[in-house]
Structure 1
Amino acid sequence: MDLSRRAIVAAGVAGLSGLGAAPIAWAADQPFFARTGLPIGLQLYTLADQAQADLGGTLKAVAAIGFKSIELAGYAGRTPAQLRAAMDAVGLSTPSAHVQVQARGGESSLDGDLSRLADEAHVLGVRMIVMPIFYTPERFDLKPKAGEAFGQVLGRVGGAMTADDWKFNADFLNAKGAALKALGLKLAYHNHNAEFSPLAAQAGGKPGARNGYEILLANTDPAAVSFEMDAGWVAAAGQDPFALLKAHPGRFVAMHVKDIKASTKPNFVFVQDPTEVGSGKIDWPRLLPAAHAAGVRDFFVEQEPPFAHSRLESVGISFDYLSKLRA
């Protein structure tokens, strides 16, 4: 709580004490997720290989840790009906799903049949579709160079994208967001750190947006497009998640609760030193209430490799920290 809220609470307690009232367990003194009534979710990407191999066992373990919701990143080789049955069996819901941007592998995509995608989302109980990465212009070669991981390929491509490329992405989001809204779904965009790569001066020497993320925020329709902040990737880019929330109230509706070590050097090429939530540099007691005040209602734990523990142990550590966090 800030000082003004503390003063209000103190005044209320004093007034009630004067009336002989019994002590009250104020909601603000409860852990953040308990007092907001929001579930702690998990982005299933963190356990992708396990879910692919043993979906039922993985979801059972996730529910046993205490998670109440998951965010999908693909269908783990199952049909939407099979996924829904597996989630229902252990009491998990999936309000949100990352969907590939460009079609591959037979799964639905944002540049494909949106009616099919909407039907699948409704089977799953999904209410928000998330675009997990920017649309890659066709002129770029996505073949890795020697010693280059695929994330670094995307970072290299993102750094080479122009203002027009980012405006194309904004237009793409607007069109897909409007179409999905008509089908009863919301659309959000999820960031990495390539979006924050500095742009060169605009044509004619006129100042423009500093990076692609600013273009996405400025050129998308708030009625059709929201944003899912990946706090770990924002921090890995050397950006301030608090400043983003403050500058764009109401635009962020979901958050990836991802932590990074202080050893992470600011970059725009998909590099970070990951760790469990609460073990890194992000000020979660401050950030979670700020995100909630700005409109975020879905929080999903996510962690990038490499892991110091087994993946299930790591998400359990993060859950334990968040379930007790007073903020």
Structure 2
Amino acid sequence: MIRTAIQLQTFRSLPETLPETISRVGTTALEGVELPALNGTPPADVADALEETDLDVVAAHVSLEELETEYETVLEAYETIDCSRLVVKRDGDGAFDSVDDVDATAQRLSTLASRLADDGFELLYHNGTAEFASLEGGSDGEFDVESGSELELEPEPEPETAYDAFVTATDEAVGFELDTGLATYAGVDPSVVLARHPGRIPVVHLTDAVAGGEATRRVELGAGELAVENCVETAREAGVEWLVYEHVRTSDPLDSLTHAATKLPMLSERSLSDSHPDPASTD
């Protein structure tokens, strides 16, 4: 069963501490939280809030540069929180412009993931939009699959974008956190991405967008172009463990929390019921 959580960056406009926000989420039907940067919050305070609410911590977003240069300090903080999944993003421009760039980035993360695995941690990579551009020196093909089409868990013979090449080039120790809204904004169907890489994407940022303008880069889940139910079903088929809601441009974080705490459990339960139909309803 896919579990449900919220990225606490959704609440960044609220004048409250990270532990206070965790306590707020603990009153809802959501099962977990994903941490943004701690920004000075004592790890022990976060750990106490998680214990008091009985919420699980899905992962924590950290700076790639900080993780590489202050490795022991970062691990000590997240050991205190009992958070073993660390998520990084693209570090600067040019990481996905060519085959050589992709290979270099993949090697960098594979090396780091191997070191983290030896210390009991898992490394995930969170995409932006640049990863979905056509890769120079690779295939010129573009995604052209209608949302809602039949699920296919076999990967394509050739990578279609820098993202596909990147997943292929990284060691299995590197996992991925797919941001569905940013993929949608880049003109890519997230369901296709999930189906191409089963077992490599344990966490999905269930976000929404409308391609074509900066103002619609982030919209409320269900208000954009994402085929939400199809995406969740594909995620289940592809072995995704967590659906993590996020809306960093919300004008009302509390309303977004209510939306997330209502919508995500329904999607998770629907996905589960679809995979186990009632025997009485079948011939």
**Distance change (3 Å), C-alpha of 1:159 and 1:211:** farther
**2:198 corresponding residue in structure 1:** 249
Tell me the CA shift for residue 46 of structure 1: 1.3
**Distance change (3 Å), C-alpha of 1:160 and 1:278:** closer
8 Å Cα contact 1:228-1:252 kept in structure 2 = yes
Give the alignment partner of residue 259 of structure 2, picking from 317, 321, 327: 317
Q: Which has the larger radius of gyration?
A: 1
Give the alignment partner of residue 73 of structure 2, picking from 116, 137, 147: 116
The amino acid that maps onto 1:73 is: P
**Distance change (3 Å), C-alpha of 1:210 and 1:278:** closer
SS at match of 1:126: coil
Tell me the CA shift for residue 212 of structure 1: 2.6
2:15 corresponds to 1:42 = no
Tell me the CA shift for residue 279 of structure 1: 3.0
2:246 corresponds to 1:302 = yes
Give the alignment partner of residue 234 of structure 1, picking from 179, 183, 188: 183
Tell me the CA shift for residue 159 of structure 1: 8.7
CA distance in 1, matches of 2:35, 2:73: 17
When normalised by structure 1's length, the TM-score is 0.70
CA distance in 2, matches of 1:190, 1:77: 23
Give the alignment partner of residue 292 of structure 1, picking from 236, 241, 248: 236
Deviations 1:15-70 (A, max 9, x none): xxxxxxxxxxxxxxxxxxxxx2x43101111112437x433432222222332211
The amino acid that maps onto 1:117 is: V
Identity %: 26
**Distance change (3 Å), C-alpha of 1:201 and 1:39:** closer
**Distance change (3 Å), C-alpha of 1:324 and 1:210:** closer
Give the alignment partner of residue 217 of structure 1, picking from 164, 167, 177: 167
Tell me the CA shift for residue 281 of structure 1: 2.4
Tell me the CA shift for residue 169 of structure 1: 1.1
SS at match of 1:234: helix
**1:7 corresponding residue in structure 2:** none
The amino acid that maps onto 1:312 is: L
Give the alignment partner of residue 194 of structure 1, picking from 112, 121, 130: 130
Deviations 1:173-215 (A, max 9, x none): 100100000000111111011111223336xxxxx96543123
Task: Flag structure 2 segments of 5+ consecutive residues without an equivalent.
Answer: 139-157, 272-283
What pairs up with 1:140-159 in 2 under 5 angstroms?
157-158=93-94
**Distance change (3 Å), C-alpha of 1:250 and 1:271:** farther
CA distance in 1, matches of 2:4, 2:44: 24
| Bigger RCO (CA 8 Å, 6+ sep) | 2
What pairs up with 1:65-76 in 2 under 5 angstroms?
65-76=28-39
8 Å Cα contact 1:260-1:282 kept in structure 2 = yes
CA distance in 2, matches of 1:218, 1:312: 39
CA distance in 1, matches of 2:29, 2:224: 22
CA distance in 2, matches of 1:95, 1:297: 9
**Greater Cα offset, 166-175 or 58-67:** 58-67
Give the alignment partner of residue 60 of structure 1, picking from 23, 33, 41: 23
Tell me the CA shift for residue 271 of structure 1: 6.6
2:274 corresponds to 1:274 = no
Tell me the CA shift for residue 117 of structure 1: 2.4
Tell me the CA shift for residue 76 of structure 1: 4.0
Deviations 1:61-92 (A, max 9, x none): 22223322111111142121121112223332
Q: How much is the aligned-residue C-alpha RMSD, in angstroms?
A: 2.4
Task: Flag structure 1 segments of 5+ consecutive residues without an equivalent.
Answer: 1-35, 103-108, 137-156, 203-207
2:19 corresponds to 1:83 = no
Tell me the CA shift for residue 251 of structure 1: 1.1
When normalised by structure 2's length, the TM-score is 0.80
Deviations 1:226-251 (A, max 9, x none): 11111111111111212112221111
